[in-house]
Amino acid sequence: MASANLLFFVLMLSSVRVGRSSESLFKLKCQPAVGVIGQTTHISCSIEFYTKPKPVVINTVALTRSGEKKSCFTIQPLENIRIGDSRFDVEKEPSLQLHNTAISDEGEYRYLIRTNLGQDQVRFTINVTAKYSNPIITSVPKEIVNDGAADLYCNASGGYPAGTIHWFDQSNTNWTKSATLQSTQGNDGLFTLSSKLSFQKIDSLWAPFRCVVLNSKYEEEEGGTTSTLEIKDNPENSPSTSSTVNNSIAGVVVIGSLIVGLLIVLLFKRRRNKRAVPMEHTYPEEEKDLNEPVYKKAAEAEEIFTV
């Protein structure tokens, strides 16, 4: 009886050693994957041998989401058996690929393979992203006036995960701290970003403004946008107003000059008339002798100044 128990113990020990030896011939490794919504995600995996590499024949592949007991994808190539999500596939043993990636695919997975050299399993994560649309800038009012109040808006949609928007002026000064951001997630899981930058007095020297979309890692996405909004001069200081004022002043000057000239002419004529009056009264009618030289000159002078 004792010998039988000893034999059984030896057999169990040898089987454990064989099992461990078989499982320790290689190690499975997988890199974290980043997928884009609607596209194919590649999950890069490899086999690292502890001993001299040998031909590997995979007979079972099983992929299970963390927290779940049932695998979401299982394949047995030798038996041509495939179970679970058909979007998963073995790309190049032991790497995987996921077609038509969705937000719901994001998470951690447990990947198990069984081969002719034993089995091993590893955990990896899938992160999902979606690029935002090119941001668009609008303003209220539509026509911005220098030194006037203005609200600038920047909108981008269709992105994942939630990102942020930064504002820059023409000198690359960051105005983001003065802006307010609103992030809204739709029924499809995608986000819409809306940022508002307000000014009580905007300066045309700051233009043009541009808004840039940053992803969840604060990395700038390709694209961005630059404001094409024009900032007009204040109407009070506009060239048209200045021209009107100048024309008005010029008109006043011309009219004033004409009035002054007319007054000078009238004053000159009045003085001439005053000079002629004493000569009339100096020589009474009854004492005038028009043939005398004195009276003759007076008459001529009177005729000249009364013209």
pLDDT at 53: 81
The residue with tokens 């970003």 is 193
Instruction: Give me the domains of the chain, ranges plus CATH numbers.
Output: 23-129 (2.60.40.10), 136-236 (2.60.40.10), 239-305 (no CATH)
**Bridge partners, 113 (sequence order):** 61, 120
pLDDT at 245: 45
Q: What is the pLDDT of residue 18?
A: 36
Give the tens place of pLDDT for each residue, 42-56: 999 999 988 888 888
Residue 161 sits at the vertex; the CA angle it makes with 158 and 166, to the nearest 5 degrees, is 80
Q: What is the pLDDT of residues 12-45, one digit of tens each?
A: 433 333 334 345 589 999 999 999 999 999 999 9
For residues 278-297, one letter each, b for 16 or more C-beta atoms within 10 angstroms of the residue's C-beta and e for the rest, the string is eeeeebeeeeeeeeeeeeee
DSSP the chain: -HHHHHHHHHHHHHHHHHHHHHHTTEEEEE--EEEETTSPEEE-EEEEESSS-----EEEEEEEETT-SS-SEEEETTTTEEEE-TTEEEEETTEEEESS--GGG-EEEEEEEEETTEEEEEEEEEEEEBPPPPPEEEEESSSEETTS-EEEEEEEEEEBS--EEEEE-TT--B-GGGEEEEEEE-TTS-EEEEEEEEESS--GGGPSPEEEEE-TTSPBPS--EE----EEPPGGGSHHHHHHHHHHHHHHHHHHHHHHHHHHHHHHHHHHHHHHHHHHHHS-GGG--TTSHHHHHHHHHHHHHT-
Predicted pLDDT of residue 3: 43
Residues 138 and 150: their CA atoms lie apart, in Å, by 11
Supply the pTM of this predicted model. 0.65
> What is d(CA 140, CA 202) in angstroms, rounded to the nearest whole number?
12
Residues of the chain predicted below pLDDT 50:
1-22, 238-242, 245, 279-284, 286-288, 290, 295, 301, 304-307
